[in-house]
Amino acid sequence: MPCVTIADRNRVVEIPAGCSILEALEMAGVNIMHACGGNCICGTCNVEVLAGHEHLPPPAEAERLILKKLKRQGPNVRLTCQAHPVGDVTIQIGL
């Protein structure tokens, strides 16, 4: 099962296959804004992926459009509600 390390909260959570990073954060008891409830509309659930990019499928078009609108964008920024790790990843919330 993939592990999600939340670097700036000093937490690691193991998640079942198919879970999103947002679900991993909820399992770890780490709060992050997710204003649209995980529907890829608001962009508030964004985080920076520090390691394990190869374990995340590339963003779909809807996620890419939201990321493009964010001020906090970059090649390593992902929406936690849309990113479903298939292996270990390390993220930073940074807020």
- By CB under 6 A, is residue 42 in contact with ligand FES? yes
Applying CB under 6 A, which of residues 41, 60, 65, 86 lies at the interface with ligand FES?
41
- By CB under 6 A, is residue 44 in contact with ligand FES? yes
**Separation CA 84–CA 57 (nearest Å):** 7
Residues 6 or more apart whose CB falls under 8 angstroms from that of 62 comprise 40, 82
Closest approach of ligand FES to the CB of residue 38, in Å = 5
Per the CB < 8 A criterion, the answer to whether 92 and 10 are in contact is no
Applying CB under 6 A, which of residues 28, 30, 40, 50 lies at the interface with ligand FES?
40
- By CB under 6 A, is residue 35 in contact with ligand FES? yes
- By CB under 6 A, is residue 78 in contact with ligand FES? no
Closest approach of ligand FES to the CB of residue 6, in Å = 16
Which residues in this chain contact ligand FES in the complex, by CB under 6 A? 34-36, 38-45, 66, 79, 81
